C-alpha cells in the first residue's frame, strides 16, 4: 500500500498507533512522514487552571518524589538494622 493510501487513514489512528508510527518515522529520519502524522492528530481546546499555579504544584510533587526515593531507601536500611 502506498504512503498516500495510508495517509488517508491517519484520522482513524488511535493515540497509541499514531505515537508508534511517529517514533518509527523519527527513527528512520523521515521528517515528512512524522510531520504528516503530527499534523493529522486531532486537536482539542481545554480549560485549565493558570499555568504558573499548575506548574508550581507539579514542581512541588516532583521535588517531593525526588527527596522521598532516597529517604525511603535509607529508611528501609534502618528498618532492616532494627529488625
Distance between CA atoms of 78 and 41, rounded to whole angstroms? 50
- What cell was used for 26? 523519527
pLDDT of amino acid 83: 84
**Where exactly are the structural domains of the chain?**
1-44, 45-83
Q: Averaged over 56-70, what is the pLDDT? A: 94
Q: Averaged over 6-29, what is the pLDDT? A: 92
Q: Averaged over 45-61, what is the pLDDT? A: 95
Question: 3 and 35 in contact (C-beta within 8 Å)?
Answer: no
pLDDT of amino acid 1: 47
pLDDT of amino acid 7: 80
Give pTM, 2 decimals.
0.54
Amino acid at each position: 500500500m502506498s504512503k498516500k493510501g495510508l495517509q488517508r487513514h491517519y484520522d482513524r489512528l488511535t493515540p497509541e498507533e499514531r505515537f508508534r508510527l511517529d517514533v518509527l518515522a523519527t527513527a528512520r529520519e523521515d521528517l515528512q512522514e512524522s510531520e504528516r502524522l503530527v499534523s493529522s492528530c486531532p486537536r482539542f481546546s481545554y480549560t485549565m487552571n493558570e499555568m504558573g499555579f499548575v506548574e508550581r504544584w507539579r514542581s512541588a510533587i516532583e521535588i517531593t518524589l525526588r527527596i522521598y526515593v532516597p529517604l525511603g531507601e535509607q529508611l528501609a536500611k534502618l528498618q532492616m538494622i532494627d529488625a
